[in-house]
Every structure is written in structure tokens, then in C-alpha cells.
């Protein structure tokens, strides 16, 4: 619309500059000129009026037109250890960098001299080597710069530690993690960002090259605000496979702690850790056995439906009752509330492992969704203007049906809040996530499920027998 006006304007100014000849012609031109300017004014008024109405009337914000990322496909080969990283070819490829010679000091992390540069394909599929790492020292998540330098007792041509030196060297291939992206303090632990380190470490422990490897984690397992019960419980399930050494941060006067060869978990990933369905099944079944949950597929017709709800948190579903009523009407079964909490690991697992359908707000509690039954359906609801495809990647090999629902705003209050509309107009769903203040705005919105959208999605899925419900013609056929 705005472009139409601009092009009219430019036509107009070029007319203005053209030479004029003859009275009749001039008169003709003037009429034309008046008509054009009237049309322009009318168009402008219509445009302004429409913009104004947009602010007054509760019209829907445009739905996201999101960029298409590389799809997640199964990689039967799984992770392959390379000289400078470990990669799997799924979700557009995912890698974790490998470092030869790495020393942790109190004030810096050193990538020892002689380090070959990371190849482009590893940089592309990871967040590359970090420029800072985080440790619980003078401050809870103190930033420590990562630099290239000489390391004590490091031979930069053989890339091996030599005999005598002042550092404590840990030899062989190891896995090393810090506190990057792990909030501490009031926010509490974040299972999703912990899973970013812990889940791949568990998977790597199954490879022959990692037979002698441990996960060295600069974190304190006894601080409930640092690591969640969920992650500690998960590590406990796999304690025979993966040894974890919790490391205290290096003190002021202490010699550095150095690693000869380390896979580094210190960056943001796209969450596509599971290379294939077989690996996901192995992972899920080990957890379910540990927690005494029967290993079954989703019921047909659906029987167990849960809404993940955090009544005392901002990341909850504000129109919970209405969503529950719609689900019950469409699926013809009672809906249970699943409250993720600081419960024991297995009690958290059971909340979603015993469901055929899970509707959940976006949030780090969804790390737990790795355990849902094959054949189940998951609906992830986003706050308005906030979207990230993490859990889509996370569950890609889980043999589940995954649906995303874009949040709306409290329709009962009439028009969309002004600030929200401004962000919607300026950035929209597509760009909001990459603009910090918009991302934080979207992230802090309460979640309202668009009920009409939910209903039409459910009706489509039920109609196509993707969700089998009681008394429908599909469930009769399938039983
Ligand atoms: C590094 O190792 C090479 C090969 O073993 C050796 O020739 C060289 O002297 C070593 N350098 C240092 C500084 O120890
Ligand atoms: C593990 O350690 C043993 C004993 O030190 C060694 O013989 C073996 O080669 C190591 N395996 C790997 C994969 O590094
Ligand atoms: C929410 O907070 C209320 C009041 O503080 C409390 O009674 C209730 O148990 C809390 N619910 C959950 C699920 O934590
Ligand atoms: C919507 O209206 C209710 C009732 O007037 C009010 O309590 C609530 O804060 C409003 N919500 C928003 C997001 O404006």
C-alpha cells in the first residue's frame, strides 16, 4: 500500500518537470493534476484510516511467514568423530568443536598454540569456538575470555603435553562443559540448555572412541539453582555409560587445568542432537525402564491427554480452561493438567511419558519431551511474536507428530495492545527473534492459545485420522 502511494508520487513529480505548451493543453494538464492529487489524498486517507482501524479493532496479527530451515532427516551412521569436531548429518548438520590443547585459568581460557583452525563445515554446523566461557566464581556466571596462547608444557608441533610442567594435564579424548547459557539465581536452572551439553555427551559415550572419556563439567551438582533435578536424574540413568567429573572453577592462585584433547560444549545448538530414530528409541527406553514406565506406543483411539501448565509461572497458558474445554470437546476424553515442577526426575518423566497427546507452552521444561510415546501428538504453543524451532529439531527422531501453535493475545480485552502491534508491524514473527528488545518482549508475553486455530487444526487432524478419537470412523477402521 505504502509502495503504491510512493510510485504515484514519483509519477507526479516527473509530470511536474515536463515542459508545458499551449493553453488548452495546460488546462487539460491542470484538470489531470487536480484529479491525481485528489486521488492521492483519498488514497492517503484510506491508508491512514485503515492503519487507525488496525489499532482499534481486534484484527488478527498476521501469522508467521517463517524462513525454511534445512529439514531434519535420519542419519543412520550417527555421530562421526573428526579431527576438529564431532558431527552428525541431521537438521542441516550439527557439530561440536574439538580442541587440541585447552587450559582453564582463573582469568582466561587458553586455546593452546599449534591449534589448527576449525574447518568451515564445523563452524557452519556449530556456534564455532566460543569467545567467552562462564564459570561460577566471584559472580555466578562470570565471563572469562577465550584466547589463543602458549600453554605450560604443551608441544605445539606434536599437539601433546610434554613431561614436567606447572599445569594439571588431563590426557586423552574428553568432553568439557562450562555454564554457558545456564542461568543461575532467581531464574533457576534451565533443563533445555543443560540438555544441550548432557544429551550429546550421553550419545557420545556409546562410541568406541569415547570408551575412556568423561564429561568434565565446571558446575556444582549440589547447587539446585545451577543444575536442574531433571538433568541430574538423566545423568543418573546413564551413570554406567557416562562418567561425570564436576570441576570447581580454577582458583586465583591455582595452576591451570588443561586438556590434551577435548570436545567442547559451550555454545548454542539447533537442538537436533538425536541422529536417528534408533538412537532416540534406545535413549527413551533406557529412561522408561529406569523409571518403571511401561514402554508402549500411543493409544488408538487417544486416551491420555495432558496440558503442561505452570499455574504460578509467567510461561503458562492463560486461557487454560478454554483450551481444556476445546480439547475435551474435540477429543472426547478428559484432559489432565501436568504441572512441571521441581519433582524427582521420574515424576517429571511420568507427566508426559504416559500421554498420547501433550499440549505444552514453549519453555525449557520441554527438554522432558524426549520420553513421549511414539505415535503421540505434541502441540507446542508460543507466546505472540516469539518463535524458535528448537523442540521441532529436538524431537525430530522421536516418531511423534509435532505441531506448533502460534500464540495470540487476550482477545476478550478488545484491541491488540499498542506496543505489541508496533512490534508486530515493525518486525513481525520472522524478525522479532533476532531483535533483542522484541525477542525479550515476545518472550515475556503471557501465552494465549488461539482457540479457533486450535479447533481447526484438531478437526483437520481428526478428519485425516492423524489423531484417532473414539467413535470416529477411523478408529473403528483401525481397531
Ligand atoms: C616437540 O616435539 C618435537 C617432536 O617430538 C620435538 O622435536 C621438539 O623438540 C618438541 N618441542 C618442544 C618445545 O618440546
Ligand atoms: C583406553 O585406555 C586403555 C588403557 O589405558 C587403552 O589401552 C585404550 O587404547 C584406550 N582406548 C581409547 C579408545 O582411547
Ligand atoms: C501456586 O501458588 C499457590 C500460592 O502460593 C500455592 O498454593 C500452589 O500450591 C502453587 N501451585 C503450584 C503448582 O506450585
Ligand atoms: C484484560 O482485561 C482484564 C479484565 O479487565 C484485566 O484484568 C487484564 O489485565 C487484561 N489483560 C491485558 C493483557 O491487558
Torsion angle of alpha carbons 12, 17, 18, 20, nearest 10°? 110
257 and 300 belong to one structural domain? no
Q: What distance in Å separates the CA atoms of residue 199 and residue 49, rounded to the nearest whole number? A: 53
Could you report how far apart the first and last alpha carbons of the chain are, in Å?
A: 55
**Within a domain: residue 119?**
yes
Residue matched to cell numbers 484510516: 49
The tens digit of pLDDT for each residue in 113-157 reads 999 999 999 999 998 999 999 999 998 889 999 999 999 999 999
In this prediction, residue 26 has a pLDDT band, given cuts at 50, 70 and 90, of: low
237 and 332 belong to one structural domain? no
CB 401 within 8 Å of CB 324: no
158 CA closest ligand 1 atom index: 2
424 and 342 belong to one structural domain? yes
The tens digit of pLDDT for each residue in 368-396 reads 999 999 999 999 998 888 888 899 999 99
**Within a domain: residue 446?**
yes
312 CA closest ligand 3 atom index: 1
**Within a domain: residue 117?**
yes
251 and 348 belong to one structural domain? no
Tell me which of 246, 265, 284 is where a domain ends: 265
Nearest alpha carbon, ligand 3 atom 4: 312
Cβ of 339 less than 6 Å from ligand 3: yes
Over range 167-177, report the average pLDDT. 95
Residue 98 — φ and ψ, nearest 5°? -115, 135
**Within a domain: residue 397?**
yes
Q: How many domains does the chain have?
A: 2
221 and 154 belong to one structural domain? yes
163 and 218 belong to one structural domain? yes
Residue matched to cell numbers 511420568: 350
The confidence score (pLDDT) of residue 27 equals 65
Q: DSSP assignment, residue 117?
A: P
**Within a domain: residue 373?**
yes
Nearest alpha carbon, ligand 2 atom 7: 212
CB 85 within 8 Å of CB 98: yes
241 and 377 belong to one structural domain? no
260 and 300 belong to one structural domain? no
**Within a domain: residue 154?**
yes
The tens digit of pLDDT for each residue in 192-238 reads 999 999 999 999 999 999 999 999 999 999 998 899 999 999 999 99
Residue 264 — φ and ψ, nearest 5°? -105, 125
Nearest alpha carbon, ligand 4 atom 8: 413
318 and 254 belong to one structural domain? no
Domain containing residue 301: 296-478
308 and 184 belong to one structural domain? no
322 and 461 belong to one structural domain? yes
The confidence score (pLDDT) of residue 429 equals 79
417 CA closest ligand 4 atom index: 14
Question: Does residue 404 surpass a pLDDT of 50?
Answer: yes
The confidence score (pLDDT) of residue 186 equals 74
339 CA closest ligand 3 atom index: 13
For the question of whether the overall pTM of this predicted structure is more than 0.75, the answer is: yes
**Within a domain: residue 406?**
yes
CA distances from 151 to 145, 166, 360 (A): 15, 10, 48
Read off the CATH number of the domain in which 439 is found.
3.40.50
Per-chain mean pLDDT for the chain: 87
301 and 426 belong to one structural domain? yes
Q: Secondary structure of the chain: what % helix, strand, coil (to 5)?
A: 35, 20, 45
Ligand 2 pocket (Cβ < 6 Å) reads 172, 209, 211-212
Q: What distance in Å separates the CA atoms of residue 3 and residue 155, rounded to the nearest whole number? A: 63
Q: Looking at the CA of 343, which ligand is closest?
A: 3
Angle, CA of 188, 215 and 227, to the nearest 5°: 10
The tens digit of pLDDT for each residue in 41-71 reads 888 888 777 766 655 554 566 666 776 777 8
**Within a domain: residue 289?**
no
Task: Give strand ranges (E) for 256-338.
Answer: 257-265, 305-308, 335-338
Amino acid at each position: 500500500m505504502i509502495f503504491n502511494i510512493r510510485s504515484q508520487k514519483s509519477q507526479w513529480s516527473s509530470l511536474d518537470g515536463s515542459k508545458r505548451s499551449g493553453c488548452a493543453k495546460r488546462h487539460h494538464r491542470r484538470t489531470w493534476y487536480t484529479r491525481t492529487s485528489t486521488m492521492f489524498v483519498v488514497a492517503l486517507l484510506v491508508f491512514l484510516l485503515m492503519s487507525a482501524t488496525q489499532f482499534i479493532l481486534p484484527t488478527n496479527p498476521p501469522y508467521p511467514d517463517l524462513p525454511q530451515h534445512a529439514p531434519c532427516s535420519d542419519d543412520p551412521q550417527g555421530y562421526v568423530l573428526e579431527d576438529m569436531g564431532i558431527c552428525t548429518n541431521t537438521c542441516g548438520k550439527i557439530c561440536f568443536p574439538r580442541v587440541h590443547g585447552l587450559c582453564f585459568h582463573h582469568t582466561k581460557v587458553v586455546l593452546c598454540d599449534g591449534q589448527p583452525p576449525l574447518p568451515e563445515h564445523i563452524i557452519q554446523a556449530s556456534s564455532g569456538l566460543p569467545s567467552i566461557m562462564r564459570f561460577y566464581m566471584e559472580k555466578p556466571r562470570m565471563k572469562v575470555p577465550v584466547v589463543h596462547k602458549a600453554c605450560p608444557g604443551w608441544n605445539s608441533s606434536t599437539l601433546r603435553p610434554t613431561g614436567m610442567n606447572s599445569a594439571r594435564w588431563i590426557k586423552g579424548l574428553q568432553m568439557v562443559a562450562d555454564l554457558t547459557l545456564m542461568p543461575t539465581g532467581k531464574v533457576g536452572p534451565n533443563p533445555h540448555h543443560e540438555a544441550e551439553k548432557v544429551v550429546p555427551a550421553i550419545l557420545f559415550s556409546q562410541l568406541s572412541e569415547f570408551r575412556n572419556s568423561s564429561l568434565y563439567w565446571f558446575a556444582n551438582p549440589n547447587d539446585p539453582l545451577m543444575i536442574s533435578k531433571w538433568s541430574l536424574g538423566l545423568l543418573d540413568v546413564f551413570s554406567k555409560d557416562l562418567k561425570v567429573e564436576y570441576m570447581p572453577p580454577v582458583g586465583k592462585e591455582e595452576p591451570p587445568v588443561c586438556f590434551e584433547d577435548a570436545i567442547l560444549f559451550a555454545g548454542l545448538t539447533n537442538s537436533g542432537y538425536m541422529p536417528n530414530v534408533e538412537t532416540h528409541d534406545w535413549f527413551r527406553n533406557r529412561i522408561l525402564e529406569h523409571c518403571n514406565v511401561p514402554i508402549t506406543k500411543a493409544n488408538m483411539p487417544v486416551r491420555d491427554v495432558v496440558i503442561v501448565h505452570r499455574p504460578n509461572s509467567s510461561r503458562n497458558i492463560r486461557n487454560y480452561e478454554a483450551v481444556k474445554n476445546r480439547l475435551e470437546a474435540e477429543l472426547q476424553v478428559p484432559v489432565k493438567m501436568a504441572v512441571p515442577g521441581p519433582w524427582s526426575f521420574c515424576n517429571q518423566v511420568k507427566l508426559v511419558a504416559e500421554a498420547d497427546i501433550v499440549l505444552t507452552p514453549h519453555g525449557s521444561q520441554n527438554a522432558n519431551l524426549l520420553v513421549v510415546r511414539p505415535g503421540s501428538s505434541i502441540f507446542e504453543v508460543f507466546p505472540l511474536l516469539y518463535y524458535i524451532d528448537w523442540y521441532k529439531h529436538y524431537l525430530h527422531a522421536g516418531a511423534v507428530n509435532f505441531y506448533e501453535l502460534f500464540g495470540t493475545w487476550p482477545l476478550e480485552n478488545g484491541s491488540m495492545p499498542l506496543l505489541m502491534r508496533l512490534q508486530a508491524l515493525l518486525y513481525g514473527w520472522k524478525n522479532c527473534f533476532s531483535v533483542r528488545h522484541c525477542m525479550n518482549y515476545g518472550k515475556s508475553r503471557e501465552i494465549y492459545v488461539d482457540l479457533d486455530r486450535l479447533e481447526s487444526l484438531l478437526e483437520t487432524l481428526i478428519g485425516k485420522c492423524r489423531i484417532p478419537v473414539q467413535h470416529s470412523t477411523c478408529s473403528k477402521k483401525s481397531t
